[in-house]
Amino acid sequence: MTGRYDYIRDGAEIYRRSFATIRAEADLDHLAPDEARIAVRIIHACGMVEIGRDLVFSPDFATKARAALLAGKPILCDSKMVANGITLARLPAGNEVVCTLSDPAVPGIAARIGNTRTAAAMHLWGDRMAGAVVAIGNAPTALFHLLEMIDAGAPLPAAVIGLPVGFVGAAESKQALAGDGRLPFLTLHGRRGGSAMAVAAVNALASEAE
């Protein structure tokens, strides 16, 4: 069944041409090769080459995040869309993908700490935070609260994908992450971000295959 439309129907060829277009059009000159590979996948997920120049990586992010995944550390996600979007077959060590948002304890914790359910859910990550990759693609409150939890003594993750999206706190929480100094990070300053970008970053880190 070829139909009346002329389009590319081969998945591998679609990926190849997509990534070639992104590398031809996006400004990635400020990035190291491993950072550029992550940037290409994030751009692929949103259709916007122009974000290439706005992505910010701390110098140790790609190395620390990749090492954590190779060491089998978990990926801690702020939303179910992030957790569900990660391609498990790409993960190098059968890494656990964690989203605690649906846990029945969350509403009670949220009431106790006076924060959103997303922020509250992070209290259930527990010791899994130590050396983990944290992927935040939805809630600014999650990114702010991550920093607060570390202030309060929570274990340090290996790296933070800080890509919350939106109009209330997103830009500010990403500035706080970038200025924090304790955490290797990837972010996109401003309002843009989202679960698809966070997933793309994890999928890029998980395997060097394009």
Q: Which spans of this chain sit near its own copies (rule: CB under 8 A)? A: 1-5, 7-11, 14, 17-18, 21-22, 44-48, 80-81, 84-85, 113-117, 119, 140-141, 144-145, 147-148, 151-152, 165-170, 172-173, 176, 190-196, 199
How far apart (Å, rounded) are the C-alpha atoms in residues 85 and 203? Answer: 9
- Give the shortest CB-119-to-its own copies separation in angstroms: 7
Buried (b) or exposed (e) across 115-137, using 16+ Cβ within 10 A? bbbbbbbbbbbeebbebbbbbbb
What residues contact residue 146 under an 8 Å CB cut-off, 6+ apart?
122, 134, 136, 157, 160
Q: Which is nearer to its own copies, 70 or 150 (CB)?
A: 150
Active site residue 44: yes
Q: Which is nearer to its own copies, 70 or 81 (CB)?
A: 81
Which stretches of the chain are DSSP H helices? 11-25, 33-46, 61-70, 80-85, 106-113, 117-121, 140-151, 170-180, 195-206
- Give the shortest CB-81-to-its own copies separation in angstroms: 4
How far apart (Å, rounded) are the C-alpha atoms in residues 198 and 174? Answer: 13
- Give the shortest CB-39-to-its own copies separation in angstroms: 14
Catalytic choice (44, 123, 145, 189): 44
CA-based nearest residue to 106, from 139, 134, 61, 131: 139
- Give the shortest CB-67-to-its own copies separation in angstroms: 27
Q: Which is nearer to its own copies, 30 or 112 (CB)?
A: 112
How far apart (Å, rounded) are the C-alpha atoms in residues 38 and 173? Answer: 21
Q: Which is nearer to its own copies, 27 or 59 (CB)?
A: 27
How far apart (Å, rounded) are the C-alpha atoms in residues 40 and 201? Answer: 9
Q: Which is nearer to its own copies, 49 or 62 (CB)?
A: 49
- Give the shortest CB-108-to-its own copies separation in angstroms: 14
User: So which residues are the catalytic ones?
Assistant: 44
